[in-house]
Amino acid sequence: MKKLTEQDYYNLLDISPKASFEEVRSAYDQAISIYSTDSISTYTLFTQKERELILSRLTEAYKTLTNSQLRKEYNHFLIERGELSPREIGFSSLEDSNVAKGKLLEVSVENLTQKQQETKDEALSSNKNLNLFDSQTSVTGNNIKTIRTTKEMTLEEIFKQTNISRETLEDIEEERFEKLPALVYLKGFLKAYAKILHVDQTEMVDGYVKRYLEWKNTYQK
Which of residues 150 and 4 earns the better pLDDT score?
150
Per-residue pLDDT tens over the stretch 76-127: 889 888 888 888 876 444 444 444 444 444 445 555 445 555 555 554 444 4
pLDDT of residue 190: 93
pLDDT of residue 135: 45
Instruction: Note if the pTM is more than 0.75.
Output: no
Helix ranges, the chain (H): 9-13, 21-35, 48-65, 68-80, 109-126, 141-150, 155-162, 166-173, 183-197, 201-219
Tell whether the model's pLDDT for residue 198 goes beyond 70.
Answer: yes
* Domain spans of the chain, in order of start: 4-112, 127-219
Pick the CATH number of 127-219 from 3.40.50.2300, 1.10.260.40, 3.40.50.360, 3.40.120.10: 1.10.260.40
Q: Collect all residues with Cβ–Cβ distance below 8 Å to 196 and sequence separation of at least 6.
A: 153, 158, 161, 162
For 4-112, which CATH superfamily applies?
Answer: DnaJ domain (1.10.287.110)
Tell whether the model's pLDDT for residue 131 goes beyond 70.
Answer: no
